[in-house]
């Protein structure tokens, strides 16, 4: 009997070593360890043996049963491990699969220009400042030497926000209010640029947008002259556009600078493109911010970032920047 059982155990171990799924394993479990299995039957037969034989045979039957049980357990463990590997494999997200098929996104043209402008000015020793997009009349106009009666106030085509009394509130029509906020909070020497969104009632056309971007520059220090302003703009233009592009200043008028100028840059066809305004900070503006104009002088400039992107990428129409046509945007 024991001899037959041993052979059964050898067969059981061989078949368990090759079992391939849990159903098959359950069948083998029943076949070799269940109620009708050789081991269970052998155990039952032990009763008919005399006590000495029963003890020896009983020990052997138990050993054989334990061997088969161990084989069943290790088969179960092997299948569980294989199932884990399969599951992990199935759940894996192979992102590399999409390489080449999916296009990587890129920053918008205006954001690229703004980042590059910041880089150039930071490289020249400026820091970057910010201000709110919704402003009071004090910051957008009055502190900038544009009182209520001033005709220049009309030229800014301001979009007002109706919040009722006591204050007149508007979307800022230029980034110049950041000059005031900076001088209120910071003592000279000041060297800042402030890029940001600006808003006017302008109708969109090839060169205008109602919501556009400007970058403001402000320097306040001792002994600052118009020569420093011209030199800074020249240096910026060379760094931003490369060696061939020239800049020039033309006399102009802004209430917050005196003297004031527009500055243009040269195009490849020999013509000039107006980029923005600039000038020496008006003494009234310094005084409005508690800075003594006899001790400190400054220059300021402000120009359009969208127009700069148009120039840099030779676009025909500034509206391309806001149409959000992906066929256009993908080119950059």
Task: Catalog residues that contact ligand FA5 under the rule CB under 6 A.
Answer: 174, 176, 200, 202, 208-209, 212, 214, 216, 254, 257, 274-279, 300-304, 306-307
Give the residue with the Cβ less far from ligand FA5, 168 or 262: 262
Closest approach of ligand FA5 to the CB of residue 143, in Å: 13
Instruction: List the one residue out of 206, 202, 190 whose CA is nearest residue 290.
Output: 190
- Which residue number places its CB atom closest to ligand FA5? 304
Task: CB nearer to ligand FA5: give 131 or 277.
Answer: 277
Any residues with CB less than 8 A from the CB of 294 and at least 6 apart, and which? Answer: none
Nearer to ligand FA5, 296 or 301 (CB): 301
Q: Choose among 142, 13, 132: nearest CA to 69.
A: 13
Q: In angstroms, give the least distance from the CB of 296 to ligand FA5.
A: 16
- Residue 253 sits at φ, ψ, to 5 deg, of -140, 130
Q: Which is nearer to ligand FA5, 32 or 139 (CB)?
A: 139
Helices (H) and strands (E) in the chain, counts: 13, 10
- Shortest spacing between CB 312 and ligand FA5, in angstroms: 13
Pick between residue 131 and residue 302 the one whose CB is nearest to ligand FA5.
302
Nearest distance, CB of residue 300 and ligand FA5, angstroms: 4
| Whole-number Å distance between alpha carbons of 214 and 305 | 5
CB of 126 to ligand FA5, least distance (A): 14
Q: Is 322 exposed, middle or buried (0-12, 13-18, 19+ CB in 10 A)?
A: middle
Which residue, among 268, 143, 108, 132, has the nearest Cα to 194 in the 3D structure? 132
């Amino acid at each position: 009997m024991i001899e037959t059982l041993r052979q059964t155990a050898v067969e059981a171990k061989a078949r368990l070593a090759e079992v391939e799924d849990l159903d098959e394993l359950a069948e083998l479990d029943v076949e070799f360890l269940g109620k009708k299995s050789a081991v269970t039957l052998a155990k039952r037969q032990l009763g008919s043996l005399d006590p000495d034989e029963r003890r020896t045979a009983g020990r052997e039957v138990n050993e054989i049963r334990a061997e088969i049980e161990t084989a069943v357990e290790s088969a179960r463990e092997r299948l569980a491990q294989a199932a884990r590997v399969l599951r992990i494999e199935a759940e894996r997200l192979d992102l590399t699969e999409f390489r080449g098929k999916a296009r990587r996104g890129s920053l918008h043209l205006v954001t690229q220009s703004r980042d590059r402008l910041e880089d150039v000015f930071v490289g020249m020793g400026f820091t970057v400042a910010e201000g709110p997009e919704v402003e009071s009349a004090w910051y957008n106009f009055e502190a900038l030497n544009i009182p209520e009666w001033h005709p220049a106030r009309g030229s800014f085509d301001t979009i007002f926000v109706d919040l009722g009394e006591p204050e007149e509130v508007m979307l800022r029509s230029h980034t110049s209010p950041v000059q005031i906020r900076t001088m209120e909070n910071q003592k000279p020497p000041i060297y800042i640029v402030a890029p940001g969104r600006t808003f006017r009632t302008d109708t969109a056309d090839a060169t205008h947008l109602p919501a556009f971007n400007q970058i403001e520059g402000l320097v306040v220090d001792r002994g600052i002259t118009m020569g420093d302003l011209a030199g800074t703009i020249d240096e910026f233009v060379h760094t931003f556009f490369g060696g061939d592009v020239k800049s020039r200043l033309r006399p102009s008028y802004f209430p917050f600078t005196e003297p004031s100028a527009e500055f243009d840059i040269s195009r490849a066809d020999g013509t000039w493109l107006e980029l923005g305004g600039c000038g020496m900070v008006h003494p009234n503006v310094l005084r409005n911010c508690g800075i003594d104009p006899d001790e400190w002088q400054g220059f300021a400039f402000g120009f359009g970032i969208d127009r700069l992107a148009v120039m840099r990428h030779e676009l025909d129409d500034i509206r391309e920047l806001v149409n959000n046509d992906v066929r256009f945007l993908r080119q950059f």
